[in-house]
């Protein structure tokens, strides 16, 4: 049993794509599925015209804004070079694209073992990519870099490499170097074998692009100067020490790099091969006391995302768990570490966009959605004895604060219920104080769109009309009881208790904070950092 389990673990790769909106994440997801023969033609998952709405349309808001709020996981088999009968199992965990949902993305990143940083060749590093990269760095997640849209004019390879090295201190070590400048994508130099992979375009990029593998001599004959340039630049990188080194990659110091066009399906197979060859298989995790739970130990999992209202006909609530150890069998009764209560897993599902299927068996690295898991919140642990409890997922420092009011007094009871539910899902942070009272909690968020999710869901799921009223605060500090008394006397400062019991002082701006800190140096005012454990 245990060696079969170890084998299942070894053939799994669980990763997320981090990118700035429009860099091509949806197109790449589709291209990966196409290569894994999950779909026979690009367009099947996202469909060009309806792409944004078909991936996930659990809310009208997503459709209206063309964003995806819900995080889901796509699982597919991929037979890599050298695989015998047993293919690899790839779990691609989807991340919300909009910066306002960074906190969700952060939670998703706790569930993966590697990240693919997707960069638009013309735009280079963009703000959201940078932010997400910092999260990966903090969590020690190894990063593979893909320069996308090489079929369109953009920067030179060396410019992009320099930019990444200088701005984020991550050293790219290209594995597949482009032959032809951005906008004239002919193929890739495989820096490990020295061979040339020539791609042929298919109509509209709808099918896997045929590849022709050639020797260096044949490549020179065919591509002339373009080949020589690629070779010279590759040699330059070797001289600078920018060849792949597995240890440095796993340590987060270097990043294997691939040039690609998700639209034309160039470089996509190379990405899959790289994931299989270099990305780490699921590994054990330390619990709150630092004790390791190994992948082959009895079942345990971490809930990283809770989502309700995805299916308007069912109005259910799904908790997504990432399996950390052991085998999961649908129907088994596990324990919820936070409450000590048993939890039946009869309704276990795999979810991607609208599609759901029952999951009967799953292994470490896999993502399983548990239906109507009302008691589960992000960061919670589920296990089979012996007990294990993983560290909680830290929350982001909020930057937007609004009062939420219920418009009809007779709906107060539903309002409370709704507020509790959204709070436990981690949709926003909920702050309260005696002055404002229970009927008017203050919501704290990383991005204002999170507030819209609250009012929209209040209406659609609980039939409660609410109004959001932005408050003039822009930053929060953690404080204690002692300091709170003095802080409430200060102008432009208000103290709240968050649901988890933390005391937070809100300030109108950083100058107000600086002033208070200067006048009262003894007060406890600790920054809330996204990445603090």
Q: Which residues bind ligand G4P (CB under 6 A)?
A: 19, 21-27, 48, 51, 97, 148-149, 151-152, 261-263
Name which of 182 and 523 has its Cβ closer to ligand G4P: 182
Name which of 51 and 222 has its Cβ closer to ligand G4P: 51
Distance from C-alpha of 76 to C-alpha of 367, rounded to nearest angstrom: 12
**How many angstroms separate the Cα of 115 from the Cα of each of 142, 173, 274, 392?**
6, 15, 12, 21
* N- to C-terminal Cα separation, the chain: 35
Q: How far is the CB of 99 from ligand G4P (least distance, A)?
A: 12
Q: How far is the CB of 509 from ligand G4P (least distance, A)?
A: 33
Say which DSSP state 18 is in.
E
Distance from C-alpha of 5 to C-alpha of 351, rounded to nearest angstrom: 23
Q: How far is the CB of 262 from ligand G4P (least distance, A)?
A: 4
**What are the φ/ψ torsions at residue 113 (nearest 5 degrees)?**
-105, -10
Name which of 154 and 398 has its Cβ closer to ligand G4P: 154
Q: Number of C-alpha atoms within 13 angstroms, CB side, residue 148?
A: 27
**What are the φ/ψ torsions at residue 81 (nearest 5 degrees)?**
-55, 130
Name which of 27 and 345 has its Cβ closer to ligand G4P: 27
| Closest by CA position to 398, among listed 440, 442, 427, 429 | 429
Q: How far is the CB of 66 from ligand G4P (least distance, A)?
A: 9
Q: How far is the CB of 490 from ligand G4P (least distance, A)?
A: 43
| Closest by CA position to 278, among listed 110, 93, 113, 33 | 113
Q: How far is the CB of 121 from ligand G4P (least distance, A)?
A: 8
Q: How far is the CB of 23 from ligand G4P (least distance, A)?
A: 5
Name which of 258 and 337 has its Cβ closer to ligand G4P: 258
Distance from C-alpha of 75 to C-alpha of 92, rounded to nearest angstrom: 6
| Tokens at 165, concatenated | 């090295």
Contact 111, 14 (CB under 8 A): yes
Name which of 51 and 405 has its Cβ closer to ligand G4P: 51
Name which of 153 and 472 has its Cβ closer to ligand G4P: 153
Name which of 267 and 398 has its Cβ closer to ligand G4P: 267
Tell how strand 254-259 and strand 143-148 pair up: parallel
Q: How far is the CB of 215 from ligand G4P (least distance, A)?
A: 27
SS3 content of the chain, % helix, strand, coil (to 5): 30, 30, 40
Distance from C-alpha of 15 to C-alpha of 18, rounded to nearest angstrom: 10
Distance from C-alpha of 189 to C-alpha of 172, rounded to nearest angstrom: 16
Give the three-class secondary structure for 241.
coil
Q: How far is the CB of 32 from ligand G4P (least distance, A)?
A: 12
Name which of 24 and 441 has its Cβ closer to ligand G4P: 24
Name which of 110 and 261 has its Cβ closer to ligand G4P: 261
Contact 317, 374 (CB under 8 A): yes
Distance from C-alpha of 397 to C-alpha of 526, rounded to nearest angstrom: 11
- Using CB positions, name the residue nearest to ligand G4P: 24
User: CB-based burial of residue 282 (10 Å sphere; 0-12 exposed, 13-18 middle, 19+ buried)?
Assistant: buried
Q: How far is the CB of 398 from ligand G4P (least distance, A)?
A: 25
Q: How far is the CB of 208 from ligand G4P (least distance, A)?
A: 14
| Tokens at 318, concatenated | 């799904």
Tell how strand 367-371 and strand 361-362 pair up: unpaired
Tell me, letter by letter, the H, E, C secondary structure of 63-113.
Answer: HHHCCCCCCCEEEEEECCCCCCCCCEEEEEECCCCCHHHHHHHHHHHCCCC
Q: How far is the CB of 261 from ligand G4P (least distance, A)?
A: 4
Name which of 21 and 392 has its Cβ closer to ligand G4P: 21
Name which of 153 and 386 has its Cβ closer to ligand G4P: 153
């Amino acid at each position: 049993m245990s060696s079969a389990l170890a084998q299942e673990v070894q053939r799994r790769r669980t990763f997320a794509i981090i990118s700035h909106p429009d860099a091509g994440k949806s197109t790449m997801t589709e291209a990966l599925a196409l290569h894994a023969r999950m779909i026979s033609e690009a367009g099947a998952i996202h469909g060009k015209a309806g792409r944004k709405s078909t991936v996930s349309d659990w809310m009208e808001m997503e459709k209206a804004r063309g964003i995806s709020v819900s995080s889901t996981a796509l699982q597919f088999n991929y037979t890599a070079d050298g695989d015998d009968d047993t293919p690899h199992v790839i779990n691609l965990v989807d991340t919300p694209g909009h910066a306002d949902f960074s906190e969700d993305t952060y939670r998703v990143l706790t569930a993966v073992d590697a990240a693919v940083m997707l960069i638009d060749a013309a735009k280079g590093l963009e703000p959201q990519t940078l932010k997400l990269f910092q999260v990966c760095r903090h969590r020690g997640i190894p990063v593979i870099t893909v320069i996308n849209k090489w079929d369109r004019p953009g920067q030179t390879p060396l410019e992009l490499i320099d930019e990444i090295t200088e701005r984020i201190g991550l050293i790219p070590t290209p594995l597949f170097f482009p032959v032809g400048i951005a906008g004239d994508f002919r193929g890739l130099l495989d820096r490990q074998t020295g061979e040339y992979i020539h791609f042929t375009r298919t109509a509209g990029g709808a099918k896997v692009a045929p590849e022709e593998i050639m020797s260096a001599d044949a490549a020179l004959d065919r591509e002339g100067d373009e080949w020589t340039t690629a070779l010279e630049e590759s040699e330059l990188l070797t001289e600078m020490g920018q060849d792949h080194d597995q240890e440095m990659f796993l340590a987060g110091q270097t990043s294997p790099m691939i040039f690609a066009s998700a639209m034309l399906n160039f470089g996509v197979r190379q990405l899959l091969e790289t994931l299989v060859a270099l990305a780490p298989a699921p590994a054990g995790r330390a619990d709150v006391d630092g004790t390791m739970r190994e992948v082959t130990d009895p079942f345990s999992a971490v809930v990283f995302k809770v989502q309700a209202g995805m299916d308007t006909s069912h109005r259910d609530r799904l908790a997504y768990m990432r399996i950390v150890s052991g085998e999961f069998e649908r129907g088994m009764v596990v324990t919820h570490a936070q409450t000590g209560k048993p939890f039946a897993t009869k309704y276990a599902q795999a979810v991607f966009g609208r599609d759901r299927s029952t999951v009967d068996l799953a292994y470490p690295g896999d993502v399983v959605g548990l239906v109507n898991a009302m008691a589960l919140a992000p960061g919670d642990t589920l296990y089979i004895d012996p007990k294990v409890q993983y560290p909680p997922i830290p929350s982001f420092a909020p930057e937007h604060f609004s009062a939420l009011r219920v418009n009809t007094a007779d709906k107060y009871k539903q309002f409370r219920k709704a507020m509790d539910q959204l709070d436990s899902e981690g949709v926003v942070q909920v702050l309260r104080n005696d002055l404002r009272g229970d009927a008017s909690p203050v919501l704290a968020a990383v991005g204002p769109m999170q507030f819209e999710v609250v009012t929209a869901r209040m209406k659609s799921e609980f039939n409660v009309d609410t109004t959001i009223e932005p408050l003039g605060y822009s930053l929060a500090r953690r404080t204690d009881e002692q300091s709170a008394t003095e802080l409430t006397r200060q102008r432009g400062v208000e103290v709240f208790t968050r649901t988890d019991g933390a005391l937070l002082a809100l300030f109108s701006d950083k100058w107000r904070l600086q002033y208070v800190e200067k006048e009262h140096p003894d007060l406890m005012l600790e920054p809330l950092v996204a990445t603090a454990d």
